[in-house]
Amino acid sequence: MSQRRKVTVVGAGNVGATCAQVLATRDYADVVLVDIKEGLPEGKALDIDQMGAVLGYEPNVVGSTSYDATAGSDVVVITAGLPRSPGMSRDDLVTTNENIVGAVTRAAVAESPDAIVVVVTNPLDAMCHVTFDTTQFPRQRVIGMAGILDSARFRTFLAWELGVSVRDVTGFVLGGHGDTMVPLPRYSTVAGIPITELISKERIDAIVDRTRNGGAEIVSFLKTGSAYYAPSAAVVQMVAAIVRDKKRVLPCAAWLEGEYGLSGIYCGVPCKLGRKGLEQILEVKLSAEERTALKKSADAVKETMAAVKL
């Protein structure tokens, strides 16, 4: 595939700007970085472009406060919104961020009616739902980023626990992006060996717990913001799977229509991503305990959704 693709990133804060930066270094897409704050997207885009002369990629990032430059994007990434601050749950953000996400989604899809939208703003599952309602797109074209981040955290902690390369660790995390997310040890492996064969139940429980609180752990260190390096890399993995039609199977937030016994809700499940966006949801059998945990996580997403007014 020789033709460059076009990716719009809405929000030039830490997550959005880092997304634009990582995307730029990959050099397969023209990137438009949009923010309402005058000067911020333009300045960051210029800086990222000039890094290309050093690292060796084409300077094709444009920053703008208007959506004109975004027209005809293949993928739109929504990062706009307030981040969590210490002591604040993801759900506390719901009212502020639903207004922001609704408005930027409308503006972005007006210019790119065929785009696939990747939602990143928290509370993630609820903001996916807001974007899904706002765009009226089919579910194939509105997907949320959370599971790759959550499983990246899970994989990192497992790799440290065993002293093995993180490349050989797979992690399977289902459910909403919140404290009730459901890491599944049975389906998490080191080079194909289930971690339940390698790590004691007590240690797995502790690692699962740290994973569930992985976002809050970083917020408590940073004090004035939340994680952005790993989240941005996770977004780029989704964007790459879509624009390069890779058929990757990645944990993403998807609109469920009966899968895993859930309907009318966004929730993290294993998704096949390709040119059409969400091309398939993979279902696996869950134990009674796992099903209960997933139901609890879905209930938490529904509770957050109850606060959405749009």
The pair of three-digit structure tokens given for residue 290, joined into one six-digit string: 């796992």
Place of tokens 């706009």: 80
Q: Which of 84, 141, 177, 272 is catalytic?
A: 177
By CB under 6 A, tell whether 215 contacts ligand LAC: yes
Which member of 6, 44, 90, 155 binds ligand LAC (CB under 6 A)? 90
Q: How far apart are CA 174 and CA 163, in angstroms?
A: 25
Contact present, 143 and 128 (Cβ < 8 Å): yes
Q: Does 6 bind ligand LAC (CB under 6 A)?
A: no
If the CB atoms of residues 215 and 274 are measured against ligand LAC, the closer one turns out to be: 215
177 is catalytic: yes
Minimal distance, residue 280 CB to ligand LAC, in Å? 26
Q: Other CB atoms closer than 10 Å to residue 163's CB: what's the count?
A: 6
CB of 75 to ligand LAC, least distance (A): 20
Question: Mask: binding to ligand LAC, 44-83, rule CB under 6 A, as x and -?
Answer: ----------------------------------------
Q: How far is the CB of 153 from ligand LAC (least distance, A)?
A: 8
Dihedrals phi, psi of 81, to nearest 5 degrees: 140, 175
Q: Residue 227 interacts with ligand LAC (CB under 6 A)?
A: yes
State yes or no: residue 122 binds ligand LAC (CB under 6 A): yes
Q: How far, in Å, CA of 120 to CA of 17, rounded?
A: 13
- Binding-site size for ligand LAC (CB under 6 A) equals 8
**Residue 190 burial class via C-beta count within 10 angstroms: exposed 0-12, middle 13-18, buried 19 and up:** buried
169 binds ligand LAC per the rule CB under 6 A: no
Chain position carrying tokens 């790993």: 230
Distance, in Å, from the CA atom of 66 to the CA atom of 45, rounded to the nearest integer, reads 14
Q: Which are the contacts of 37, defined by CB distance < 8 A and separation ≥ 6?
A: 12, 65
Sites of contact with ligand LAC (CB under 6 A): 84, 90, 122, 149, 215, 218, 226-227
- Residues tagged active-site: 177
